[in-house]
Structure 1
């Protein structure tokens, strides 16, 4: 890794390349491969700006709990846009985390929730991003099946939903 880039571990909607590579996020992102972190579990209780639940990599300390995700190399110049998209300081904080990859352990930036509400549910469009990314990264089928079982709710803001899903129809 050069000093002009950093590694980023995505475990939620940013696993989806069309979402992460958007011009207003991190167009420099390069997928490095699947990664995982033990002692954490995937939950959808982060308070989103839109009132829905977003993904969180929640520390449990149990070695059998594992969060799978994607490892990306990103230009440092894209970091401010990623921080804004993730709501750094307003729901997520940035942390360095050790992730396991097929080629060994790597230190990567990730975002962990600071504002949580277990009663929240993710929107269906958000889960589409997460599942698209999980499949794109080739995450384990049992892990993807567990994500598919998460209860999601329809976003009543149809314009937002259409906008969020439009990235999959662009060519």
Structure 2
């Protein structure tokens, strides 16, 4: 038995999610209507992580990726996402499938609390950008992500940084800073 997961942040990159849930396989892309994306979820490391933020405007859309994951790995995903400790899991989140236009119900995570002044670390934002590139999400979404202020993480021994750089490398990104630069600039 499996469940459908809507990833909109760092888990969009398959190597990142597969390190957490080995059975995860891509179904396709989708988008969440009336939800924006912020990096305002407080992390233990002091940076901001991605979260969806409800908008009153239907035209606000955040794209993401749908994965099918074996139900036996839900606890792994909860642990990786900090369910109950910073993120809340929603098992009935409605998204629209990009290829068919069908509305689907998926599992996703929302920040329990937000701090709008937070900024993501460079490597974390690079994961989100790499996942967006990998799945060919909207160009305007990529431009918005590249415009996000971020903090260069000076702690090169940080476990999260090391794991992120490994996932990026598996997808051919050996210079994560290249993802942060606008190629049209």
Same fold, TM exceeding 0.5? yes
Q: TM-score, normalised by structure 1?
A: 0.93
Find the aligned partners of 2:111 and 2:119 in 1 and give their Cα distance.
Answer: 15
Is the partner of 2:11 in helix, strand or coil?
A: helix
- 1:99 corresponds, among 72, 95, 100, to 95
Find the aligned partners of 2:164 and 2:106 in 1 and give their Cα distance.
Answer: 27
For the pair 1:67 / 2:65, whether they are aligned, the reply is no
Check the 8 A contact 2:12/2:65 in 1, yes or no.
yes
Task: Map 1:133-144 onto structure 2 (within 5 A).
Answer: 133-144=131-142
* Match of residue 52 from structure 1: 47
For the pair 1:164 / 2:145, whether they are aligned, the reply is no
Check the 8 A contact 2:63/2:137 in 1, yes or no.
yes
For the pair 1:132 / 2:148, whether they are aligned, the reply is no
Is the partner of 2:63 in helix, strand or coil?
A: strand
The aligned length equals 166
Find the aligned partners of 1:169 and 1:40 in 2 and give their Cα distance.
Answer: 30
Check the 8 A contact 2:10/2:131 in 1, yes or no.
yes
For the pair 1:79 / 2:74, whether they are aligned, the reply is yes
Q: TM-score, normalised by structure 2?
A: 0.86
Find the aligned partners of 1:83 and 1:48 in 2 and give their Cα distance.
Answer: 15
Instruction: Give how far 1:159 is off.
Output: 1.3
Instruction: Give how far 1:170 is off.
Output: 4.5
Question: How well do the aligned residues superpose, as a CA RMSD in angstroms?
Answer: 1.2
For the pair 1:40 / 2:38, whether they are aligned, the reply is no
Check the 8 A contact 1:13/1:19 in 2, yes or no.
yes
